[in-house]
Structure 1
Amino acid sequence: MNRKTTIILFLLISSGVFACINEYRTLLTGEVVHKERSSGLVWTRDIDTQKLKEISNHLLQSYERSDSIEYFSDYAATLIYLGEYQKAKKIYQEIEQKSPNLYTTASNLGTIYELINKPDTALAWIKKSVTLNPNSHGGSEWIHIKILEYKISKSDDFSTSILGLDFGDNPSPMNPHAYELRKLEEDIKHQLKERLTFIKPPNKIIGALYFDLGNIIAQTKDVQAAMESYHEAKKYGFESELLVQRIVTMQELANKAKPYKQQKQLIDFIKNHIVLLFSLVALTVFLLIVLFILFRKRRTV
């Protein structure tokens, strides 16, 4: 195989590997468009406990050799992921005494106190962390504060958004307050990603965040992606008549894309079979030519 052929094959293979997958999706207006697939889910990696323990031990050894607060802080962070909250809390309290007013200490202590169900203390530390670093977590910590304030209120009312957002009461979400939807989407996704590592369903607060996310994504992306968020809200235990109504509405809109999908599937099926047919014909012609040449050579001999 020559160099030119190798390069062409590589380009053909790589173009297939990195190509974006496009689908027919429905916008909230009812328009069906062919676009890159979007998702209403927030993905987070599963923790490899064994690997994390190895990293944790390595950080502890590094701290003992160097007496570096950075290593000590990172070691404590691994303990949070391993569920050793009290041990991690003691370390951060020690760090706070040695080097007060570090953003990482305040932020992680806030997380620990939330995880051990002390929202009042958690709120104080999270507010301090935001003061120390207003742009932390992409500026999304206002959501963390709202969640802690909701927990402190001991309310079980999810009839309104715990974030104070309002997307109307119509079957389709609206934006009557002219929110910056893209930024809201980014902030909620960031906070969900941080929390989903520690929190598994059911959890109505996570469900409420997913409901808000669905209301936003319906307007920024498409109804299929919004339905993924809505169904995830249900999975986490969030319940409301408006959620049910919006799932029905989004499904009706999503059904508009089905004929386009079916038509595309039929076209792809025909194309694939035509290609297969031409390939078989070409192979047959090639074999006949080869046989003809061999037959001519035998006759000549």
Structure 2
Amino acid sequence: MKMKKLLLTVFICLNSSISYACINTYVFDLGRDGIDKKTALEKLKNSNKKPKTYKEMNDYGVLLIYAHQYNQAIKIFKEIEKNHPLLAKTAANLGTAYELKGDLKKATYWIGEGIKRDSNIHEGSEWIHLKILDAQMEQQRNPNWIRSNDVLGLDFGDRAAPHVKVKMIQFNQQNYNLEKILAHSKIQMDQRLRFVEKDPITAQILFNMANIEVIQMSWEEDAAPVLYSTASRLGYSHPELLEIRKNYILTSKWYAFKRVFAEITHFFRHLMV
């Protein structure tokens, strides 16, 4: 199952010290789980030719990011921007490098610039990246911000069963329903879960992904429990609610009945296609 594979990545990557990245290459294949610092340093050391094209320079800059050499990576991407302006990947990589360096304002500018250059970058999900950056800045100003605010503006109540209070999120004149929010969150988490260790912001997004899965009666039966468990591991800010909700989907007979009904409905719809 796609969701299970996506979330299993987190258990492999929890010890990585790289953080919060949406990294873009042209030729170099990072693989499903990216590369670690040691591998990046070895590749940089063994590189026997100077990158010439902007694509080679971009991928060299990506290696620098994975090697934690953020200032050098930024220098590379700025050079690409100067000589080959308006490339969406350059902007996104600059945003990532600045984020890893800890300069959230510049990261926000460049991630936003990447969206302007290509609104479909990362399948149109980068608005969530901007929301995460905003939340990080709020957290810097107030460490308890996450306890009383939702990163994406969602609300599923405080009962055992999640209840939809916000059906649509508007961002930059675009409307995102729960189905689209879930799809875009999966894309962003596929990147982010490779690199985070403890992060209540990421945990909250995972928690809400689980809530949407429960409400939509996902065909992937294990999706919500795995999402709730991963949110817990990453430090979700309201652990009591998380446990109540997780217990609900695991023990509620009413929820089990609704799942069976949803699965039967899904089965017959599939037959009719």
- The TM-score, its normalising length taken from structure 1, stands at 0.64
Change (3 A) 1:149 1:47: closer
TM superposition shift of 1:169? 2.8
Q: Which amino acid aligns with 1:214?
A: A
Do structure 1's residue 174 and structure 2's residue 145 form an aligned pair? Answer: no
How much is the aligned-residue C-alpha RMSD, in angstroms? 2.8
Q: SS of 2:145's equivalent? A: coil
Q: In the superposition, relative to structure 1, how do residues 225 and 40 fare at CA in structure 2: closer, same or farther (>3 Å)?
A: farther
- Map residues 106-185 of structure 1 onto 2, 5 A cutoff: 106-153=91-138, 154=140, 155=142, 156-158=144-146, 159-179=148-168, 180-185=177-182
Runs of 5+ consecutive residues of structure 1 not aligned to the other structure: 1-35, 258-301
Check 1:110–1:97 CA distance in 2 against 1; reply closer, same or farther (3 A cut): same
Deviation for aligned residue 1:101: 2.1
Which of 55, 58, 62 is the aligned partner of 1:73? 58
Q: How far is 1:164 from its partner?
A: 0.7
Cross-structure match for 1:246: 245
218-227 or 239-248, which moves further after superposition? 218-227
Cα deviation 1:119-178 (Å, max 9, x = unaligned):
111101111111011111111111111111112223332233211112233321123433
- CA distance in 1 between counterparts of 2:71 and 2:83 reads 19
Task: Give the conservation status (yes or no) of the 8 Å contact 2:7–2:226.
Answer: no
- Report the CA distance shift for 1:75/1:166 in structure 2 as closer, same or farther (over 3 A): same
Query: Aligned equivalents of 1:37 and 1:100: distance in 2?
Result: 36
SS state at 1:232 partner: helix
Q: Distance in 2 between matches of 1:164 and 1:72?
A: 38
User: Which of 1 and 2 has greater Rg?
Assistant: 1
Distance 1:254 1:115, change over 3 A: farther
Separation in 2 of the partners of 1:60 and 1:174? 57
2:26 paired residue number = none
Mark the CA change 1:223 to 1:245 in structure 2 (over 3 Å): closer, same or farther. farther
Which residue in 2 is equivalent to 1:197? 194
AA in 2 matched with 1:217:
E
1:98 match: 83
Structure 2 CA distance for aligned equivalents of residues 68 and 198 of structure 1:
29
Summarize the Cα distance change of 1:37–1:94 in structure 2 as closer, same or farther, 3 Å threshold.
closer
Residues 56-91 of structure 1: CA deviation (Å, up to 9, x unaligned):
56777262xxx2111111111122123222221111
After TM superposition, the structure 1 = structure 2 runs for residues 279-294 of structure 1, keeping only pairs within 5 Å, are none
Q: 1:130 to 1:54 in 2, by over 3 A?
A: same
Distance 1:215 1:256, change over 3 A: closer
Counterpart CA distance in 1 for 2:93 and 2:47 is 17
User: Partners in 2 of 1:178 and 1:135 — Cα distance?
Assistant: 23
The alignment status of 1:39 with 2:37, answered yes or no, reads no
Provide the rounded CA distance (Å) in 1 between the counterparts of 2:183 and 2:233. Answer: 21
TM-score (norm 2): 0.70
Change (3 A) 1:202 1:150: same
Q: How does 1:6-21 map to 2 (within 5 A)?
A: none
Q: Which runs of 5+ in 2 are unaligned?
A: 10-31, 169-176, 257-273
Provide the C-alpha distance between the structure 1 equivalents of 2:167 and 2:189, rounded to a whole number of angstroms: 23
- 1:198, CA displacement in angstroms? 2.4
Percent identity (aligned)? 33
- Mapped contact 2:210–2:228 kept (Cα < 8 A): yes
8 Å CA contact 1:223, 1:250 repeated in 2: no
**Total equivalences in the alignment:** 218
Counterparts of 1:231-270 in structure 2, within 5 Å, are 231-240=229-238, 241-253=240-252
Check the 8 A contact 1:107/1:126 in 2, yes or no: yes
In the TM superposition, what whole-angstrom CA distance separates every residue of 1:231-276 from its partner, at most 9, and x where no partner exists? 111100113132232122122138986xxxxxxxxxxxxxxxxxxx
Q: What is the distance in 2 between the residues matched to 1:62 and 1:228? A: 44
